[in-house]
Amino acid sequence: MIIAIHSRDVTAEDALAEALGREISLNEGLTTAPGDTVVAHSNRLDHYNDEDETWSSTTWADHLAGPSLEHPLASGPDGDRRAILHVTAHMHPLDRELNHAEWSEIGYRIARVAGIAPPGDDQACQWIAVQAQPGRLDVIANLIRLDGTWSAQPRRLLQTLVAEARSLEADLLLHSSQQQDSPRRDRAPGLEHVASPRVPTATGPLAGILRQLAAEQSGPISTVRQLVEEVGRQAATLPGDQTEAAARDLFWTARRLYGLQEQLGEIASRLQPSEPSAALAPTRPVQAPAASRAAVR
């Protein structure tokens, strides 16, 4: 995953148009229903939007710019009044296709670590996460909070977002760089991002990925297995033949998941490069003592 931070702006039109890959329009509706373009948004959106109402892309842009109009004197710590923040997450070309819930999770976590959506804060920023182009998510926010103050962002925003991207990759089983990320300035002005992830070319990193998957207590398969076991235990306490059969099937499913963990661990062991043994280490020829050489002659 590559994280990009665009130059801030005073309006949201350009950011939303770039996220959509086309110009915004009054005739184009963007909804927040599962499977639609807006996959995540600020927690007080219902205060402004009727669930039966479909907003145009222009209306969304006006909504994001609203706090700037309500608080025209608000400015950042450096006096900058450009309040529209635009962050893009580009998926790796080899990543699988994500579903709506996974895109939504990425959007919420980017907003949270960027300081625009602190948990439980009713006066936080207005923001949306847009998934309109393949392998890409755009988070657009107004840094002016509803109470008129400027949001507190991490001092090293890019590094914070990159760290969260690595965590997301691990949680969602996405491709990740095996090397240290190196932030750099893109040739296009106003866009800062990190180097593109590389696919492992040696068996060692592949074995490491499999070991993470197969971890008995902390791996993602283990998490799923424990959830399946817990549902099975709860089903077993309910009356009825169907719930009893379901509990039995769930326990068998958990057992198969455990077998899958063991199999992945065995494959990881085969992929892990072995240390060169002493028997294969090159040796220098041993010369006979001088007296022995004389005897041979």
pLDDT tens, position by position, 222-273: 778 778 877 877 777 777 777 778 878 887 788 788 778 778 778 877 776 6
The pTM assigned to this predicted structure is 0.60
The whole-angstrom separation of Cα 169 and Cα 194 is: 15
Which H helix or E strand runs over 245? helix 241-271
The rounded radius of gyration (Å) of the Cα atoms in the chain is 27
- Token pair 């062991």 is at which residue? 269
Q: What is the mean pLDDT of the chain?
A: 78
Furthest CA-CA distance within the chain: 105
The whole-angstrom separation of Cα 234 and Cα 232 is: 5
Q: By the 8 A CB rule, do 127 and 158 touch?
A: no
